[in-house]
Structure 1
Amino acid sequence: MAALSDTPAGQVEQVEQPIAPTVPGWLWYLTEPTRAAVDIGQFAAARPLLRAAPSGDGHTVLVLPGLGFNDGATVALRRFLAGLGYDVHGWGLGLNLGPSVQVVEGMRVRLRELAARGRGKVSVVGWSLGGIFARELAREHPGTIRQVITLGSPYAMTDLRQTRVNPVYRLLARFYEAGAEMPPPEHTRPRFPVPSTSVYSKSDGIVAWRACVSPEGPRAENVAVASSHLGYGYNATVLWVVADRLAQRAGRWRPFTPPPGMTRMFPAS
């Protein structure tokens, strides 16, 4: 995915140090399926609360799935956002099997198609590996993307051991064509060019949460939630954060603040 690492000139390089290669504890990892089932169950129970989420302005939102998943995994998230008034789209590229040449080019084409509809800039929401892709698209097309929201995306990892799916990725990487690879480490990159929200969970059993965050700034934030990795797309607090971020007026981005009465739902960073 090296071709997606081009950055507009004039950006200032980051100087942050890399993160130590750690992985989530075995308890979090082994309980991922059970905790994801809880997240899905709570999604149904939280629908009355989610009806109070901020409405959208109709702009286009592109949602990218994680490694090994397709648009089916993001149906609940996309339907929720569509219900708020957004023009929501899946990536339409089948299973996410990593940064193959076809996938990288397919995302570019998808973004161009959506931007050409004339509804302004496109917001991109990426789950896990989908979030890494989302950030690379923004680096390449900062004038097309309104903001990026990542859900448990280890874009700041410095070592593949920071994710439990490392063996799967290494297996798939054997089949990639020349030129298909993951982007350079985040700490070596220029500053991110569009507003970004990194949603992460310290109980994530698939990726190291520290690999899912970056230094905060005037247009960059990290929001902690209590969620499993497989449950990000169903977790009520995650959905609220996504709705809140997307509802901001273009050009008036502000850091996330939990609404009154919901503060306890968001753990300390």
Structure 2
Amino acid sequence: MESNKIVYTAFTKFAVAIAVSQGATLPQAKKIITKSFERHPYFKHVSKIIKKVKLDKENLNILSNQCISICEDFGPDRDYITLVLLLEKIYKNEELQKIEKDTISNIINNFKVEIDRINANIPPPPLFNVLLETRAVTEWTSMFWLYPFIPKHKSKKSKPILLMPPYLGNDNSTIFVRKYLKSIGFKTYKWDLGVNMINSKSLPKLIEKLDEIYEKHQEKVSLVGWSGGGLFAKIIANRYPEKVEQLITIGSPVWGVKNMKTPIIKTLEFVRGAKLRERNLKFIKELEEIPKVPITCIYTKTDGLIPWKNCMEAETFRDDIKNVEVFGSHCGMGANATVLLTVANALNSNLEKVQEKTIIEKVETLFYPQFWEQKGVSKFTNLFFN
């Protein structure tokens, strides 16, 4: 929260100043901005920051530039889209008088352009990560003997799950994920479209399959997509939130694809295909939208094919959006025990609203980078006694 605190201190002053410039009093402006953050995971922290905001004769362009400068110092971050969307929400607020409407609109548009510029500079995976992708062979072969030992938390609800394979992969790529989810009680479905070439022509068939599963079970379907499969899953979740229970992506570039730097960029047909350019631009634009369903994005910082920052959704936009880091390679995520556990736990947590972790689930925390990033031995005592 420390870096976020600096960003939000500058941003909330900018947002409050916009509301005041539109006819609100300072207390009214603070109330409006606070309400805009009601689904924000750091709501309590941000509320305290908003209360401390003081305004003099502030220049909106200067406040905007100050916030942009801080964001640029911290570097590209998907969470910045939260700031843009909150500004647009404030601008559309019916309580405000819309004084100098065009001026405010231009300031917000400029802010968005600058944020897009910052977020277009995510570096490609380093060569070391690319070389580390060779460990995927070990990850896949070791899964055959490791699989029986992976804890299985039975689901209380036998919900339907549609799984989508990675780029150049097929249903064999998701065999361990499907097998594991089926073993704990979920109804799993293949995508049945052969090799995934990330061709937008596959979308109508996937949507038809979603409809079939939805009609069969008479309930919403959870979507799980690995890498390129996550692109399709997110597009479908955006288009049909009324039929999608939740979205889980595994090492998928869920935003910033237009400027994404990756060793496989030249082979991504939906970006470089000249004949499908117009359709692909529409596809890419849809990826920037955030689905109105619970989202879990699984990523690894040692990904050798996709920049890991492109695999994270805006966790600060809503409290039902989670990013989970795991150890492993990109190509080995389909045979990664931690990935299997994360997918299952996310499905169970979102479906059954489980809050308390069991002892076994607490032990599983040891396999996640987030645990080891904590300092001191207190992380062990906090794990079991906090």
Structure 1 residues 1-269: aligned runs within 5 Å: 14=82, 15=84, 17-18=115-116, 19=119, 20-32=121-133, 34-55=134-155, 57-101=157-201, 103-170=202-269, 173-174=273-274, 176=276, 179-181=279-281, 182-184=283-285, 189=289, 191-216=290-315, 217-248=318-349, 250=351, 252=353, 259-268=361-370
Give, in angstroms, the shift of residue 175 of structure 1: 5.0
8 A contact 2:248–2:296 mirrored in 1 = yes
> Which protein is richer in helix relative to its size?
2
> Alignment partner of 2:188: what SS?
strand
Rg: which structure is higher? 2
TM-score normalised according to structure 1 size: 0.84
Q: Deviations over 1:124-169 (max 9, x none)?
A: 0000111111111011100100011000001122544422211101
Give 2:240's aligned amino acid.
H
- Counterpart amino acid of 1:67? Y
Q: 1:41 to 1:55 in 2, by over 3 A?
A: farther
Aligned-pair identity (%): 28
* Greater fraction strand: 1
Structure 2 Cα separation of the partners of residues 251 and 43 of structure 1? 28
Higher RCO (CA-CA < 8 Å; seq separation 6+): 1
Residue 88 (structure 2) aligns with: none
* Structure 1 residue ranges without an equivalent (≥5): 1-12
Three-state SS of the structure 1 residue aligned to 2:369 is coil
Give TM-score scaled by structure 2 length.
0.60
- Offset at 1:83? 1.5
Tell me if the contact between 1:97 and 1:172 (Cα under 8 Å) persists in the aligned partners: no
Q: Give the 3 Å change call, closer, same or farther, for CA 206–177 of structure 1 in structure 2.
A: closer
Question: Which sits farther off after the overlay, 38-47 or 195-204?
Answer: 38-47
Q: Using a 3 Å threshold, how does the CA distance of structure 1 residues 109 and 243 change in structure 2: closer, same or farther?
A: same
Displacement, 1:66?
1.2
How far does residue 42 in structure 1 lie from its aligned partner after superposition?
Answer: 3.5
* 1:11-56 per-position Cα deviation (integer Å, ceiling 9, x unaligned): xx84273422311011211231x21122223423432432433436
Matched AA of 1:153: S
